[in-house]
Amino acid sequence: MNDCIFCKIRDGVIPSEKVYEDESMFIIRDIEPKAERHFLMIPKRHFKLLSEMTEKDSVTLGKCLKKIPKLNDLLGLSGGYRLVINQGDDAGQTVFHLHVHILTGQKMDFPHL
Ligand code: 5GP
Ligand code: ZN
């Protein structure tokens, strides 16, 4: 059984509003925002770490990143934004399904998330 929270959100088992969704990823609001606006961009295929990425996953992640500027209006990114991928315990990764934090809506004047 897959106990991954993000897989459950992907599959609608845990309800969460998807701000954006396409064939390879979806975007939700972080439940505990660390910036004025804090989104999570989550590839649909479950893998834990960058070190587990397949070639296909890397193409998907590239497409996901390329998509971000196109979501400028939807996510309110025109003032700028910060992307973060936490990897492993030292980085404080808590959900082991690779995801990209999108932090925006304020000056990023703090060193830590
Ligand atoms: P990590 O610490 O693994 O880089 O990031 C996991 C993020 O997922 C955290 O910022 C946390 O607040 C968020 N998160 C955990 N569970 C849920 C949930 O059920 N719904 C949403 N929207 N965000 C969640
Ligand atoms: Zn997952």
pLDDT value of residue 47:
95
pLDDT digits (tens, 9 = 90+) for 20-34: 999 999 999 999 999
Do residues 105 and 34 lie in contact, with contact meaning Cβ atoms separated by under 8 Å? no
Phi/psi of residue 34, nearest 5 degrees: -105, 10
- Find the ligand nearest to 9 CA: 1
Q: What is the pLDDT of residue 14?
A: 95
- Phi/psi of residue 23, each to 5°? -70, -25
Which positions ≥6 away from 63 have C-beta within 8 Å?
Answer: 24
**pLDDT at 112 exceeding the cut of 80:** no
d(CA 103, CA 113): 9
The pLDDT assigned to 2 comes to 81
Closest-lying ligand 1 atom to the alpha carbon of residue 113: 10
Answer yes or no: 99 catalytic.
yes
Determine if ligand 1 sits within 6 Å of the CB of residue 87. Answer: no
What confidence score (pLDDT) does residue 110 get?
66
Q: How far is the CA of 51 from the centre of ligand 2 (A)?
A: 15
**CA angle, 60 then 96 then 109, to 5°:** 85
